[in-house]
Each structure stands twice: as structure tokens, then as C-alpha cells.
Structure 1
Amino acid sequence: MELADDPDAELALGGIETLAAPKKAEPWMRPVELLAAALLAAMMAIVLANVVFRYVLHSPLVWGDEAASLSFIWMAMLGAAIAVDRHEHLRLTIALPLFPPRMQDVLDVFGRVAVAVLLLRLLPEAVSYAYEESFITSPALGLPMSVRAAALPAGIGLMTLLMVLSVIRTRDWRAIAGSVAVIAALVAALWLARPALAGLGNWNLPIFLGLIVAGLLVIGVPIAFCFALGTLAYLTFASHSPVFVMMGRMDEGMSSLILLSVPVFVLLGCILDETGMGRAIVNFLASLLGHVKAGMSYVLLGSMFLVSGISGSKVSDMATVAPALFPEMRRRGHSPAEMTALLATGAAMADTVPPSIVLIVLGSAAGVSIAGLFTAGFVIAMVLLVVLAVLARWKARGEDMAGVRRAGLGVIGRTALVAAPALALPFMIRGMVGGGVATATEVSAIAVVYAFLIGAVLYGGIPARRIVPMLVETVAMSGAILLILGCASAMSWALTQSGFARDLTAVMAGLPGGPAIFLTASVLLFLLLGCVLEGLPAIVLLAPIMFPLARTLGINDIHYSMVIVTAMNIGLMAPPIGIGFYIACKIAGISPDAVMGRIWPYLVALLVGLAVIAAVPAISTAFI
């Protein structure tokens, strides 16, 4: 993800540190980057070949899915290593400024040492997992499954080496020695306390999967490694399950065929940024609506709605729309704080518009139809768009429109002509998936080819020198996302095996009020999780637990999905914790303090929309 004003600027935020320009990337990692980019390209080619052979030649490639899965898991693990090399793994940083500068440095070293210890512990388990898989042969390609599973030790080995080098290069020997001593003391104390911990039963869950994970998040350890450290500690000190089981859970969590669309849609977002297709949509809407009261607010919301349907990424959406609209909005007297508040809540509104990566992951984790989620997501986003537009119009009742002219029909026609190919893309994605023409993965590959060709012909194309870096950026971003999913899957499995899911089921079943109370509790839970965690880990952690509960109460899967995703997105943008809020402020170049007071009316409007969505299931299910 790049900032529109400075493509090389690091996106380091008050709430989250996410994708950034490389920080002293290791020169010897260049072949790994090229290999990972080649694997992404190969995966794309295989998916496209599957489409051609299945729908055009009516002769499906029986080995296609296996080959794509093989490329995918290797790309994901190498991408996770590249993200370590580039310091691009997602981590919370909201609490770090509360510590003195020296303490921040010490905590940073401690976090690196803890991750290095984690990886060193998991590496032999990953090797054993790959060896065990050698006794299984893939049905179509006839290859030992160890060829695929070897991606785990390869990726973990690379991450281990990079993290150890990262620790050494801090040259803060006192902090390194102190961190090693503290970790060794904690391990020894927990090992000696194993008999006592065994007697605590499920009270170990808040200790290991609550306090430890939360503490690591607070000190800035990347989210994926927080989940893995908490799970490793729980399995080692409070469970009889072997650590080996983590490898299988991580593999399963990262390599579902549905998730193949994640890197492809990430690549689609990069193409959108590079070609300027999103800007063409913004220019068209501005020519159409810019002359009416609240017109630029409508343009901002409409642009977020349509651009989100192309990129699937909130950060990409905001980084595309903000620089195109904010200068004109400032000229018309809009407050920068007000614009940023609308930008943030518009991103929350648009996250259900296909191709939403959150919806794809949710479909994979909960076993819900992607086509159904995509269809319902459009409708839900429209409901939220309406409530935000109504509020924006009320706020603009005193807007000075002097000097604002209606665009001529010629201007509207020209901008519409330029934007038409880009405008067709989100509807093509929704129509093909919702109509059952192709899977989300296949549609994502088709959309990339369409965007690349249209971008090359009509929007200036992508410079050749940017293609490989764009592929590498996609791989690193996807690797970081998929590692979170893998580690969250392992943690979710630990929660389930502990009996937590059974106990939670009993508690929720005993609540008075039936489905209404369950939905209310779910909204509150995902509002809170949205504040603390980015959406993907929250979904993977709780979807396997919450969806069976919802089904037992007769709540439709699609309806429940829309309710929790909307709640999570609202929480993501809610200050003072919501990490998406800080992303919006960073992209807009404004202090969070200035925006904090302005965003609450928009959040209240979204909550009103959420209440309507939760109360009327037909809004989510009428068109599926």
C-alpha cells in the first residue's frame, strides 16, 4: 500500500504499522523476491488456464488446483519472509508512544528476540511436518506432499535467519542479553508451574491466549507472531497437545483454495493505483455531482463505494480517493478534519463491496458462500452509503456554493467515457461471482487481466520497471496477511480443543432473548475486536466458534456475516483505539486529535445503519 503523495513513504501510524518502503532489505533476499514474484505469476497463469480449459474448451485441468495450491503455499511463505525482511508485518503501535524512548528501544529488542525464539522452536516442527507429508502422494500430480509442505520449513527458516540478523544488527547487547534472560526465566517458571497450570483448566486460556497475546500486541510484536507465541505457550505449558499440531493448523489456515484470490485481488489493487483507473471514477463522479450541496461528500462516498469494488483494500481505496478529492473539497471550504472523518467512515462502509478480502476470508473460515456474501455485501454497503449521505447532506445545509458551476454535458460525457471501462470492473466481478459463472479466485484472475489490458490501452499502462516491484509488493503484503490467517487458525484450533467453544455455546444458549440477544452480543464483541485487531485475524479466530452458535439459533449465515463484518468495520474506525482511524488520518495528513471529535456523528450514523441491518435479515438475504 502506498501513500498517494509519497509512494516511498513509510505508513507508520499511531495505531498500526503496516506496509512500508523496504528498510535496508538484505541484498541476498533478491533471488527470493524474484522467485516469489515468479510463483505469483505462475499461480495466475494456472488459474487463468483453468478458466480457459473449463469454460472455453470444456476440458478441466485435473492437475490445475494442485499446481495452483503448490505455487500458492510457497508464495505465501516466501512472502512472509520478504515481509520480515522489509519490516512489513502488521503490528499495533498505539501504546508504544506511552513509553519513554529508551524503553521503546528495549521493548523493540525484546519483541524481536521473542519472535526469533518462536521461529527457532517452530523450525524443527516444520521440518518434521514436511517429512511426515512425504508419505502422502498428491492424487493428480503424483508428487510427494512434502514438495508442497516443504514451503513451511523454508519460509520459517528464512524468517528465523532474518529475525536473528535483525536482533544482532540492533547492537543493543544489554537489551539483547536482558531479553534472553527474561524469556529464559519465564520459560523456566512456566515449565515448573505446569502441574499447577494443569489444574486451572480453561482458566489457562485468558492467561496464555489473552494476557500473553495482549501484552505482546501492546509492545509492538507483529500480530501474526503474537498469535503464534500465545498458542505455542499454551500448547507447551498448559496442554497435552504436541506443538507439531501447529504446523498442520497453520498450513490449513493459509492454503485454502478460496484464499488464492487474496493475492490476486491485492495485485488488482496495485494495478488500480498504478494505472489511475480509480482516479478516472472519481473525476466522473465529481463532474456529475460536484455542483450540488454536499456534492463532494457524495462524490467521496460514491468513489469509495466503486473503487472498493475494484481493489478490495481499504488502504488502497483511501489512498486513491483522498488526493483526488481533498484539494477541491478544501477549496470549497470543507474542513480537513470533517473530510477525513467522512473518508474513514466511507472506508468502513465500503468494506463489504466485492471483492472484499474480508468477505473472502470469512467465506473460507466459516464455510459461507462467497457468491452469497458478494451479493449481500453490495446491498449492505448501499444501506450504509445512504445513512452517511443523509448525514453529509444535513451537515452541508449551510455550504457556500457561490462560484461553483455545473459541469457541462461535454465534460460529463468525456469523463464518463474515460471512466466507463473502470466502472464496469466492480459490476463484472460481482456479476460473475454472484451469477455462479466462475469462482472468486477465477474472477480475480480475469479481473487482473482485464484491468492490466484496459490500463495499458486506455490509462497509460504500467511502466515495465514497475511490474516486478509490484509483484514483489503483492507477495509481501499477501504473505503478511496469510501468515496472520495461519497463526490465527492455530490459535482458533487451540481455543476449540480446549473446550472453550463448548463452554461458550452453553453460555450463549443460556442467554435470554434468543437470536436478538445473541446478535446484540455479537455486535458488541466485533465492535471491540474491530477496535483492537484488523479484521482478518478477528474473523479467523472467532468464525469457527460463532457461526455454529448462530446456526443453532436459526440465524442465516449471510445475515450474520453482514452484521459482524459491519460491526467490525465500525470498530476499526472508532477512536481512540481503532487502527483504521489512524490509517485514514495518516493518508489525509492530519492529526488524529483534530479528527477525533468530528468522526463520532458519522460513526453514530453507521451504527444506525447496523441496527437496521441486524433487525431486518431480508436486507442481507433478499437477493441471494
Structure 2
Amino acid sequence: MSWVLGISVVILIALGAPIFVALLTAASLALLFFPGPPLIALQQTIFGGLDAYALLSVPFFVFAGELMAISGIADRLINLVRALFGRVPGSLGIAALGGSTLIGTICGSSAAAVAAVGRNMYPQLIEGGYGKQRAAGIITSSGAIDIVIPPSIAMILYGASAEQSIAKLFVAGIIPGVVMALLMAGYISFSAMRARIPREAGFRARVAWQAFRQAFWALTMPAFVMTGIYAGFFSPTEAGGFACAYAAFIGIVVYRTVNFRSLLEAAISSAMMTARIMIVVAAAGVISWVLTVEGVPQALIAATADAGMSPLGFLLTVNLLLLAIGCVLDPTSAILVLSPLLVPIAVSLGIDPIHFGVVMTVNLAIGMFTPPFGLNIFVAQSVLGLRTSDIYRGVLPYIGVQISALVLITLIPALSLWLVNGMS
């Protein structure tokens, strides 16, 4: 039965079917034409897959992200980073990177960060002498960090499918996300010096203070959320509810950029996004259940043991697999389908499942801007109005930079687990 599932999914995706259609169709064919569980189990598993407390945090964080997106905070965050870095080589590019990373701490959506930063920074990068390919590469690749930096929808889905603590996953993503951002900033600065891109005006404390004051309320939300989770004051689901209330307060009372109409539009957009995520969750749950019934995870664990694969060898193999898959599938689909298969093997080899979740997420983050089908590439193409070939050339150096970060995160588990070990 398992080979029918695999072949059916690949064929349907190649034909352009939505991922949830491909997954549900494959599971239905397997149950219909092979003896085993009754077909009615399909319906029960679809609804059962959504019956997880951890998934309640998804609509909260999606809505909070939408509220912050319409509050006009992207400009404030970018201006803050720009004011802080002053005459650092590549400061405009670093401002785009920093703005995207800070937006990720609020909405956790890579595509949203690419769109917001692209509209704001692309004209300024072109005017600053970066060129369209270099500017597109910075904007497209920077957004990938947003699914690693908490709050991350990808981490929530991994936690739900792998039955791991979402609070620990959030905390585990902080240092790896910072490592990715620092390596990116270093390369942006180095390449700007090599290309002799003109520097901006020097650091001025008064300008930096003004930019900080304007961005203060936006910066406090992720600080409150992560502090509350780390200190154990509330769960990730409760943190999502707090984030919604706080984002509404900022938009309506502080910045006064959100009115009833925009609030309603944000709610509708959030409901649509949540529905798109949950239907994939339900479909992937069916596939995972069928594979479990067939004993596929247990067979893979036995095959790995027979092959004598070491933990490091397994992680390197998974990295190659996920880098390839990430170019084709979005992180949501890849995490939900692969986690039930890969996590038991990782645990059997003594790999910490929290560390493994971070490794998976970083892999799939890189896939989001890797040609030919990285999601961020198409978002950037729509926002920036460039040819995909220009974006392809622009992102290539940053793929290498992020793979370097992936190697560090894979080989040094403490980058993921140090803060986690300090949690009560």
C-alpha cells in the first residue's frame, strides 16, 4: 500500500494538483483498493487529525501577524535597523535583512515578510547601487529566517505532528535564527565592500532614538510573547491570544492605523489562511495514519539500524533530502508529511527531537528561496516585477550562506538546545 501512496502523491503533484488533494486522493486509493482499514476511517482520521490543542495557536498567531501587517510597522522596523547601522558597509541591505527578521518575530510568515520588505526596500536598494539581482537576492532570501525565528507556524505544526513541546521549539529557534541572520549580514556587508556600493550617512544618536521610539510598541510584542513562554507564564496558545489582543491595541489605540473595516479584512484574511493550513494538516494526518497502520515508520527504523547509520550520517542524509524537497513543497506540507516518518528514526538514533525539529525547519526555510519552485521566489517576482531568472541569480550566493548556517546548526546541537535546557 505504501508504494501506491508514494507514486500517487508524486504523480498528482506533478500534474499540478493542490497538495491536500494529492494527499487525500492517494490515501483514498490506498484504502479503497487494498484490504485493511475500512474507508470510513478516512473521515474519522481527517477530523481526528485536527483535534490537537497545539493547533489552536495557529489562527491566533496568523491573526496577530495580519493585524501587525496592516498597522504599518514594516517602515518603523526598517527605519530602526537603518538608523542603528549607519555607515556599516551594506547598511541598506542589512536594513532589509533586519527588517525582515523583526517582522518574522511578529507574524512568522516568510511570504509576508518578503512582500512587506520588498515593497519598502527594493526601490531604495536600487537607488543605493545594489542592482536588481543583488537587491532581489537579499529580499527573497531574508524572508526565509522568519519560519525559524519564533513565533513560527512551521514550529507549531512540527510540534503538533511530532508531539513535541511548542514552547521549547519556539525557544530553540531563537539562536539558530540569529545565526542565520548574522551570517547573512556578514555576507551582505562583505559583498557591498567588494562591489564598492556607496555607504549611507553615519550613525546619529538622535535619529536612532527617534526611530526606536516609533518602533517601540512593535518591538515589545515579541519580547512579551517569548518572555511569557520562556518563564512559563502562559502556553504558546495563550501567547497567541495575548499577541492578538496586543496587536489590536497597538493598531487601534497607539498607531491608529487600524479601523473596523481593516480589522474585519484582517480577520477574513486570517480565516482564509488558517483554512489553507488546516486542510493540509488534515490531509497529512490521513497519510501519516495510513503509513503508521502499514508499519512504515517501524520498517524504516529497522532498516536504519540494519544499515548501521550513525546519528551524524542520518542528519546529513536528511539535510540533503529536505533541501531537495524544500524546493518543491512548502514547509507546511513537508513538515506534516515527513515528521511522522523521520522523527521516530531520529529518536531511535539518540537525536534530540527538538534539535531535529530546528534542523528540519532550517532546511525547509532554505528551500523557500531555492530555484526552481521556492515560494519566496514567486512572491518576490509578484512584488518586485522581475523575471525569475534575475531572482535566481540573486539568491544563489545566499543559498550557500544559509547552508553554512545549516551545517553549524546541525553539527552543534547546543545552538538549538542551550536556551531550552534553561527552561523550567
Structure-1-length-normalised TM-score: 0.65
Cα distance in 2 for partners of 1:607, 1:228 equals: 33
Cα distance in 2 for partners of 1:474, 1:514 equals: 43
In the alignment, which of 26, 37, 41 is matched to residue 245 of structure 1? 41
Q: CA deviation at 1:547?
A: 1.3
Cα distance in 2 for partners of 1:523, 1:249 equals: 30
Q: CA deviation at 1:405?
A: 2.0
* 1:430–1:511 distance in 2 versus 1, CA, 3 Å: farther
Partner of 2:15: 219
Report SS of the residue matched to 2:193: coil
Partner of 1:56: none
Cα distance in 2 for partners of 1:290, 1:494 equals: 56
Q: CA deviation at 1:400?
A: 4.7
Unaligned runs of 5+ in 2: none
> Is the contact between residue 511 and residue 517 of structure 1 (CA under 8 Å) also seen in structure 2?
no
Cα distance in 1 for partners of 2:333, 2:48 equals: 15
> Is the contact between residue 261 and residue 440 of structure 1 (CA under 8 Å) also seen in structure 2?
yes
> Is the contact between residue 332 and residue 400 of structure 1 (CA under 8 Å) also seen in structure 2?
no
Report SS of the residue matched to 1:554: coil
- Report runs of 4+ in structure 1 exceeding 4 Å deviation: 399-403
* 1:403–1:607 distance in 2 versus 1, CA, 3 Å: closer
Partner of 2:189: 393
Partner of 2:359: 563
Report SS of the residue matched to 1:251: helix
In the alignment, which of 123, 130, 136 is matched to residue 334 of structure 1? 130
Report SS of the residue matched to 1:242: coil
* 1:328–1:549 distance in 2 versus 1, CA, 3 Å: same
Partner amino acid for 1:205?
S
Partner of 1:325: 121
> Is the contact between residue 432 and residue 438 of structure 1 (CA under 8 Å) also seen in structure 2?
yes
Could you report, residue by residue, the CA deviation over 1:129-182 in whole angstroms, capped at 9, with x for unpaired residues?
xxxxxxxxxxxxxxxxxxxxxxxxxxxxxxxxxxxxxxxxxxxxxxxxxxxxxx
Partner of 1:61: none
In the alignment, which of 403, 406, 418 is matched to residue 622 of structure 1? 418
Could you report, residue by residue, the CA deviation over 1:555-583 in whole angstroms, capped at 9, with x for unpaired residues?
11111111111111112221013233322
Partner of 2:292: 496
* 1:374–1:323 distance in 2 versus 1, CA, 3 Å: same
> Is the contact between residue 324 and residue 367 of structure 2 (CA under 8 Å) also seen in structure 1?
yes
- 2:265 paired with 1:432: no
Q: CA deviation at 1:496?
A: 1.6
Report SS of the residue matched to 1:275: coil
Cα distance in 2 for partners of 1:335, 1:401 equals: 10
Output the aligned Cα RMSD: 1.7
Cα distance in 2 for partners of 1:308, 1:409 equals: 26
In the alignment, which of 585, 589, 603 is matched to residue 399 of structure 2? 603
Cα distance in 2 for partners of 1:623, 1:567 equals: 21
Count the aligned residue pairs: 420
- 2:341 paired with 1:545: yes
Cα distance in 2 for partners of 1:364, 1:323 equals: 34
Partner of 2:201: 405
Q: State how 1:465-504 maps to structure 2 within 5 Å.
A: 465-504=261-300
Structure 1 stretch displaced more, 574-583 or 254-263: 574-583
Q: CA deviation at 1:292?
A: 2.4
Could you report, residue by residue, the CA deviation over 1:387-433 in whole angstroms, capped at 9, with x for unpaired residues?
11121122111455658323543322211101011011112221111
Partner amino acid for 1:277?
I
Cα distance in 2 for partners of 1:303, 1:445 equals: 24
Partner of 2:2: 205
- 2:326 paired with 1:530: yes
Cα distance in 2 for partners of 1:403, 1:606 equals: 25
Report SS of the residue matched to 1:488: helix
> Is the contact between residue 319 and residue 363 of structure 2 (CA under 8 Å) also seen in structure 1?
yes
Cα distance in 2 for partners of 1:239, 1:339 equals: 55
* 1:429–1:239 distance in 2 versus 1, CA, 3 Å: farther
Structure with bigger gyration radius: 1
> Is the contact between residue 528 and residue 568 of structure 1 (CA under 8 Å) also seen in structure 2?
no
Cα distance in 1 for partners of 2:247, 2:86 equals: 27
Q: CA deviation at 1:515?
A: 0.3
Cα distance in 1 for partners of 2:399, 2:373 equals: 14
- 2:74 paired with 1:274: no
Cα distance in 2 for partners of 1:432, 1:222 equals: 37
Partner amino acid for 1:287?
A
Report SS of the residue matched to 1:599: helix
* 1:279–1:377 distance in 2 versus 1, CA, 3 Å: same
Q: Which has the higher contact order (CA 8 A, sep 6+)?
A: 2
Cα distance in 2 for partners of 1:393, 1:380 equals: 20
Partner of 1:343: 139
Cα distance in 2 for partners of 1:609, 1:570 equals: 10
- 2:94 paired with 1:298: yes
* 1:461–1:577 distance in 2 versus 1, CA, 3 Å: closer
Partner amino acid for 1:523?
N
Q: State how 1:131-280 maps to structure 2 within 5 Å.
A: 204-206=1-3, 208-280=4-76
Unaligned runs of 5+ in 1: 1-203
Cα distance in 2 for partners of 1:447, 1:605 equals: 32
